[in-house]
Structure 1
Amino acid sequence: MCGIAGLAEPAPAADPAALRAVAEAMAATQVLRGPDAGGVWHDERAALGHRRLAVIDLDGGVQPMLAGSEGTRTVLSYSGEVYNHHELRAELRSRGHRFDTRSDTEVVLAGYREWGLAVLDRLEGMFAFAVWDQPTGRLVLGRDRLGVKPLYWARTPTGGVAFGSEPKALFAHPGIDPVADVESLRDGYSLLFSTWPGVYAGVAEVEPGGWLLFDADGVRTGRYWQLELREHTDGPEATADHVAALVERAARSRLEADVEICSLLSGGLDSSVVTAFAAAELRDRHGPDAVLRSYAVDYTDQAREFTGDVLRTGHDTPYAAEAGAHIGTDHSVTVLDPAALLDLEHRRAVVAARDSPIGVGDMDTSLYLLFGRIREHSTVALSGEAADEVFGGYPWFHAERPRAAATFPWLLVTGDDAAVPLHPDLAAAMRLGEFRADTYADALAAVPHHDDESPEQHRSRELQHLSLTRWVRQLLHRKDRLSMAHGLEVRVPYCDHRLVEYAFSVPWSEQTRDGREKSLLRRAGAKHLPDSVLWRAKNHYPATHDPGYATGLQELARDALTVDGVTDVVDRTRIDPLLDAPAEGLDWGTRLRLERVVDLALWLDVARPALRI
């Protein structure tokens, strides 16, 4: 998986060794992403750093990886997994390329040398990479289609470009400081996910499905992939069969590793289908006794205290156990208590991993702790993330109010919209309502449609596009940051671009053929799951319901309000009444306000940003 970092400058440095030192410092901020090895390469204009999490070809694949002779080098720093590297290797061999390792890294490097930027169209997987092309004096940054792997960049004071897998790598550059201003805070707290829930001025992402070039002509960016609408001619049975084949192929292709692999299994439809296909593939490869490990998270109070809401319809653990038994996994559950979720060192680690004060409280902390437990046994995990975006699983696809609303639908469903009451002066400067309206209009203008669509199909297509191009980004970032903080690689089969492209073009009537959400996925998994799991209602990631957690959170928020800078961002008059409210009366959406006050205080301490508001 790994972490990448580095920089390129427009002119030769007076002291090239200084470039190397900067790249070393940048890469060092990402040692948790790559605990197994590290390296730096430099010349007089560029320096590329790397931190490695060894997953494929443990002895090979050392980075930065070089090709060519002195002075005409092509240098690669790469993060991720390319699942079709065997096929690409064979094609490149037929074109005269030789390989010294089994790694997909070497295939990406050879592919760039053969096809240049067009290599991006050929890569299937999750990846982010940087290439320094000495002959052309060009830095090339590329990112996978759905944005599973992160890649950030910023301009250096001398007109160059610095890049990294996380923003913290950029701030190790002596000329780039963490700054939060009105515009960057608006981008984060608007919850529109144009990129990520980031809050740093001057920091940008390479877009999902995008690239960046830096050379003598300056910086150019572009896209090699975007979500398109295709003519769908398959009948109902052929559609269901094709979806099943695509999901199965995606799950199986993500099993290649030279380390222990496992699966996240919540007992919901999404993770259970992935786990079933993965377990079957392991038995096919290694014999009938091969067993896949599976993992879930729970809370000490959940069975006793659970109360449903629009996002959570039931207690996961019994369903996960039943799914694991039916599939034949070695299943375990990490059970967390309020003390672990409230522990400030845990929360500080989460905020540091996220590079952002905007998270989801105990749900982030619990996922972070779950990933830590998984890492004790496994280095790679499969996840069911993104199935709701691909197959229309969220409440906003089906509820009348968000379907009819002229805004981003999650703002009416998740409770996030009011989660951070902003200081009136800051809110006025942000002009958040105007920003949301303009951004929503731009987002809808990008949605492709057929001319003869019904109003229902037209709106459903909009909701799918918004979910796949915006909402999913913050979920993928959350998964990446909290897993890589433990050196755990999480793979997401539902982000396979062929599956996404096909499902996006399927008519909404087929997406809801059985009268429920995710009809196509349910049909794909029908032969592999117990009925109790197959027909479960959509259930969001679990949150604790223990009143003791809410009481402890109130105390943390009370302390957080005393931290310098917090009340410059937050409207204290709307937070104070929550500090003494009955803990058992704080629903999840209301509690989220306190969560984000706590995280804001931690972020100000961890990141030490300059607030220019």
Structure 2
Amino acid sequence: MCGIAGWVSYGRDLTRHSEELEAMVATMACRGPDAGGVWRGGHAALGHRRLAVIDLEGGRQPMVAEDGGQVPAVISYSGEVYNFRELRDELRSRGHAFRTASDTEVVLRAYLEWGEGFAARLNGMFAFAIWDTRTQELLLVRDRLGVKPLFYHVTEDGVLFGSEHKAITAHPAVEAAVDADGLREVFGLTMTPGHAVLRGLREVLPGGIVRVSRDGVRRSRYWRLESRRHTDDLATTVRTVREILEDTVRRQLISDVPLCSLLSGGLDSSAVTALAARGLAEETGEKVRTFSVDFVGHSERFRPNAVWESPDAPFVADAVRHIGADHEDIVLDNADLLSPDVRGAVRRALDLPTVTGDMEYSLYLLFKAIRSRSTVALSGESADELFGGYSHFHDPEAVRSATFPWHLPYRRAGGQDALRAVGLWDGLELGDYIDQRYKEAIAEIPDLDGESPEEARMREISYLHLTRFVTFLLDRKDRISMAVGLEVRVPFCDHRLVEYVFNAPWAMKTFDGREKSLLRAATEDLLPRSIVERKKSPYPSTQDLNYEIALRERVAALAGGDSPVLDLVDRRGLRGLLDRPPGTFSIGGPYSARAVLERLIDLDQWVREDGVRLAGGIR
């Protein structure tokens, strides 16, 4: 996986500027605990921190290409390319020689062979920078779904870039500051592509290329979702989904370090785990190792609600028995979730206030526990966005509403009401901002001639999830996993699967009258009936009232002090929110009023402890 950072300055000799680059690279140490390196050459300096997964000895970076004693290009690379073996064979047939067994060298050689068009040949999750010494140009490239993050900041004579915000703000020329639009992204749940929240930073778009030269910065896309007519019948579609899934899981089992699977007892993670178990049994004869997260007393305390219908534990047990996994539960309590060290580590990993609150803290603790036993994990992330798993895909009111479909549960769960109560909804003009971003998103969706209005609307909703909501989830998972040096792979983000399922008609995706019909049909032979029939249940959140009480105490302390947050919120409204009865904020998740409380606590710490300045233009 790794972390990358770098600097291009056409007005400086960067061989004389070592401290700045080293400070940038040092912020990536958690992403790459195994090794680090820098390369400097005139107007470019590239840095790297490595988590060794493939070719443990030969894959050190930054990596240079050598041809006839010359160095035509240098790469700093993060991620995995799953078809690197096929590409290496093709490049060898074209005369390229390889010094290592790493996918990094394959990517570098592919650039030398095919130029900028090489990116479309890659299957994987990746973010990398290539400095072409011949043209004195930098190429920043990101994978199609945006699994791996990559940010940049345009300077007066070049660019700074890095895997995370902190790599860029470590440079003395860049201030960590947030303006009103940045806060609107934090509180508005719009997940605007390219928006990096911090002022002056941008995100390389998923499927995007940023080329930096003396003439400036040029942005382009080598991939985007396209609408195509789906001609396969139902049986063929189900079979094709299964075939692509089998192939992508098989590819993602490649690793020179211990590998495991995340298992929640839901359809998505169980399907990935079952396919991984089959693949490992055939290749090595080993059992798949699995991990899940739970909370002390959660099953006994659990009460069904609009978000969670059932606890995970019984379904995890069913999956483990059926698949034959080597399983371990990671069980957490309130002290774990409320630990200042944990919360600070998560906030620093995200470079932002949390969006889902305790979910992010438990995810960090889960990944930290896994990392002591494994280096690579498979995940079922993104299946809900792809196959239509969320309840709002199937809620007529959400489907009809002229806004992002996840804003209906945001309203129902009390999140919008809480923002209004504390004055942030009106103060940040969130309604207008969300409406603007929604219209921009709808305008970019590719039409399909002859599609019925109902099918066209569901295509829109699928597109919004695959270009907005999923990028938030992927960024969260990447940042938190890499904070402990764990690589998480996401088979459902294989672009072949995404392109195919995106274009399958909604009527086919719900042919059995339920959510995720195609995925269920494609994998039901691998799973116990309890999981095949289980209703969608999100990643778990604690329902312990004592957790809510502790949050209330922290927000009350914030409200009674001199927090910079008080310059943004209505104090009376904040106190009124806290006066609501105990149990009001027992339900977590990104849409909830409880998550708003968590975000306010984090915003305070983000400014006070992490040094982020609230910039002008914020009331």
TM-score band by shorter chain is over 0.9
Q: What is the identity, as a one-letter code, of the residue corresponding to 1:342?
A: L
Deviations 1:438-468, CA, capped at 9 Å, x for gaps: 2212211222232222222111111100000
Query: Deviations 1:583-613 (Å, cap 9, x if unpaired)?
Result: 3332422222211111112211332112122
User: Does 2:10 match 1:10?
Assistant: yes
Quote the Cα distance in structure 2 between the aligned partners of 1:269 and 1:129.
Answer: 33
Partner letter of residue 7 of structure 1? W
Structure 1 counterpart SS, 2:74: strand
More displaced 10-residue stretch of structure 1: 308-317 or 292-301: 308-317
Letter in 1 for 2:602: D
CA shift at 1:576, angstroms? 1.4
1:363–1:543: 8 Å Cα contact kept in structure 2? yes
Percent identity (aligned):
50
Tell me if the contact between 1:420 and 1:570 (Cα under 8 Å) persists in the aligned partners.
no
Q: 1:563 to 1:60 in 2, by over 3 A?
A: farther
- Is the Cα–Cα contact under 8 Å of residues 292 and 329 in structure 2 kept in the other structure? yes
Calculate the TM-score normalised by the size of structure 2.
Answer: 0.95
Q: Call closer, same or farther: CA 1:104–1:568 in 2, change over 3 Å.
A: same
Does the 8 A contact of 2:151 with 2:196 survive in 1? Answer: no
Alpha carbons of 1:330 and 1:31: their partners in 2 closer, same or farther (altered >3 Å)?
same
1:519 counterpart residue number: 517
Query: Given residue 595 of structure 1, which amino acid in structure 2 is its aligned partner?
Result: E
1:94 matched to 2:80: no
Name the SS of the counterpart of 1:498 in structure 2: helix
Q: Which residue number corresponds to residue 104 of structure 1?
A: 103
* Partner of residue 220, structure 1: 218
Query: Distance between the aligned counterparts of 1:320 and 1:219, measured in 2?
Result: 49
What is the match of residue 379 of structure 2?
A: 383
* Cα contact 2:418–2:577 (8 A) shared by 1: no
Residue number among 599, 606, 609 corresponding to 1:606 in the alignment: 609
Counterpart of 1:453, as a letter, is E
Compared CA separation, residues 345 and 548, structure 1 to 2 (3 A)? same
Unaligned runs of 5+ in 1: none
Change (3 A) 1:123 1:55: same
1:178 to 165, 176, 179: 176
Paired residue for 2:185, among 183, 187, 197? 187
Instruction: State whether structure 2 residue 571 is matched by structure 1 residue 575.
Output: no
| In the alignment, structure 1 residue 361 sits paired with structure 2 residue 357 | yes
Give the 3-state SS of the residue equivalent to 1:207 in structure 2: coil
| Secondary structure of 2:321 counterpart | helix
Instruction: Give the match for residue 119 of structure 1.
Output: 118
Instruction: Please tell me whether the aligned partners of residues 32 and 485 of structure 2 are also in contact (alpha carbons under 8 angstroms).
Output: yes
Aligned partner of 1:270 in structure 2 is 268
In structure 2, how many angstroms separate the alpha carbons of the residues matched to 1:560 and 1:51? Answer: 37
Q: Please tell me whether the aligned partners of residues 196 and 477 of structure 1 are also in contact (alpha carbons under 8 angstroms).
A: no
CA shift in 2, pair 1:361/1:428, >3 Å: closer
Confirm or deny: 8 A CA contact 1:310 1:413 kept in the other structure.
no
1-structure distance, mates of 2:570, 2:523: 47
CA shift, 1:428, in A, is 5.2
Determine if the alignment matches structure 1 residue 315 to structure 2 residue 311: yes
Cα distance per residue 1:362-401 (max 9 Å; x no partner): 1110000000000010000000000001100011110111
Counterpart code for 2:180: V
Which deviates more from structure 2 when the two are superposed, residues 576-585 or residues 503-512? 576-585
Partner SS, residue 67 of structure 1:
strand
Give the match's secondary structure for 1:517: coil
Deviation, 1:564, is 2.9
How far is 1:118 from its partner? 0.8
Asked if structure 1 preserves the Cα contact closer than 8 Å seen for 2:423 and 2:573, the reply is no
Q: Which runs of 5+ in 2 are unaligned?
A: none
C-alpha distance 428-316 of structure 1, shift in aligned 2 (>3 A) = closer
How far off is 1:507 after superposition?
A: 0.8
The two structures, once aligned, show a CA RMSD in angstroms of: 1.7
Q: Matches of 1:308 and 1:573 in 2, distance apart?
A: 33
CA distance in 1, matches of 2:54, 2:514: 40
Q: How far does residue 159 in structure 1 lie from its aligned partner after superposition?
A: 2.4
Within 5 Å, which residues of 2 pair with 1:65-464? Answer: 65-68=63-66, 72-156=71-155, 158-195=156-193, 198-287=196-285, 290-414=286-410, 415=413, 417-418=415-416, 421=419, 430-464=428-462
Provide the C-alpha distance between the structure 2 equivalents of 1:173 and 1:64, rounded to a whole number of angstroms. 19
> Mean Cα displacement is larger for which, 69-78 or 329-338?
69-78
Contact 1:301 1:544 in 2 (8 A): no
Q: Report Cα offsets for 1:330-383 as digits up to 9, x if no partner.
A: 111111111111111111111110100142111110000000000010000000
1:234-284, CA deviations, whole angstroms, 9 ceiling, x for partnerless residues? Answer: 111011000111111111111100000000000000000000000100000
**Equivalent in the alignment of 1:474:** 472
CA distance, structure 1, for counterparts of residue 414 and residue 120 of structure 2: 36
**Cα distance in structure 1, aligned partners of 2:424 and 2:378:** 41
Once structures 1 and 2 are overlaid, which stretch shifts more, 588-597 or 318-327? 588-597
Aligned partners of 1:197 and 1:474 also within 8 Å: no
Q: Conserved in 2, the CA contact under 8 Å of 1:60 and 1:102?
A: yes
Could you tell me whether the CA contact under 8 Å between 1:423 and 1:569 is conserved in 2? Answer: no
Q: Say which SS state the counterpart of residue 184 (structure 2) adopts.
A: helix
Q: Which secondary structure does the structure 2 equivalent of 1:409 belong to?
A: coil
Q: Note closer, same or farther for the CA distance 1:546–1:107 as it changes in structure 2 (3 Å cut).
A: same
Q: Which moved more, 1:143-152 or 1:594-603?
A: 594-603
